[in-house]
Homo-oligomer: A and B are copies of this chain.
Amino acid sequence: MKALRLLQARSFSHTYSSCRGNSVLSQEPSGPKMKTAIPGPLSKQYMNDLEKTQNSLSTIFVLDVEKSIGNYSVDVDGNIMLDVYEQIASLPLGYNHPSIQKVFQNPENLSQLVNRPALGVHPTPQFIKQINQTLLPIAPKGLEYVQPMMCGSCSNENAFKAICIWHANKNRDGKAFTEEELKSSLYNQAPGCPTVSIMSFEGGFHGRTFGALSCTHSKAIHKLDIPSFDWPIAPFPRYKYPLEENQRENQKEDERCLARIEELFHEYKSKQNPVVGVVVEPIQSEGGDYHGSATFFQRLQKLIKKNNAALLIDEVQTGLGATGKFWAHEHFNLPESPDLVSFSKKFQTGGYFAKSEFQPKQPYRIFNTWMGEPAKMLVLDAILKTVKQENLIENTKKTGDVLLNGLKSLNQKYPQLFYNIRGLGTFCAFDMPNASVRDKFLVQMRNAGIQMGACGDVAVRFRPALIFAEKHANIVLDKMNEVAKKF
Contact = CB atoms under 8 A, between A and B. Distances in A.
A53 B354 CA distance: 10
A147 interface: yes
A128 B54 CA distance: 10
A50 to B, nearest CB: 5
A86 to B, nearest CB: 9
Contacts of A228: 188-189, 193
Given A115-B65, A122-B60, A123-B50, A192 B224 contact: yes
A389 interface: no
- The complex is assembled from copies of this chain, and their number is 2
Interface stretch (A87-95, A323-331, A468-476): A87-95
Interface string A94-126: 011100110111011011111111101111111
B110 A101 contact: yes
Contact of A114 (B101, B131, B145): B101
A260 B60 CA distance: 48
Contacts of A87: 115-118, 121-122, 369
B168 A224 contact: yes
Contacts of A226: 161, 164-165, 193
B208 A153 contact: no
In this complex, which of A73, A181, A186, A230 has the most chain B Cβ atoms within 10 angstroms of its Cβ?
A186
Contact of A193 (B128, B187, B223, B364): B223
Contact of A65 (B91, B112, B186): B112
A207 interface: yes
A447 interface: no
Nearest to A316: B369
Interface string A21-65: 000000000000000000000000010011001111111111111
A103 B105 CA distance: 12
A221 interface: yes
Contacts of A91: 115-116
A362 B124 CA distance: 43
A466 B374 CA distance: 23
A221 B161 CA distance: 12
B187 A233 contact: yes
Nearest to A144: B53
Interface stretch (A194-202, A405-413, A415-423): A194-202
A313 interface: no
Contacts of A147: 54
A120 B59 contact: yes
A125 B164 contact: no
A385 interface: no
In this complex, which of A73, A182, A211, A362 has the most chain B Cβ atoms within 10 angstroms of its Cβ?
A211
Contacts of A182: 220, 224
A344 B370 CA distance: 11
Given A57-B362, A62-B124, A100-B114, 15 more contacts: A57-B363, A62-B122, A68-B111, A164-B227, A167-B225, A182-B224, A183-B220, A186-B217, A187-B217, A192-B223, A197-B227, A209-B210, A210-B212, A211-B211, A227-B229
24 contacts: A14-B107, A16-B107, A46-B128, A54-B359, A56-B123, A57-B363, A58-B367, A59-B123, A65-B112, A87-B116, A91-B115, A100-B114, A103-B114, A104-B113, A151-B369, A153-B154, A157-B209, A158-B209, A165-B225, A189-B230, A194-B225, A194-B227, A210-B229, A221-B364
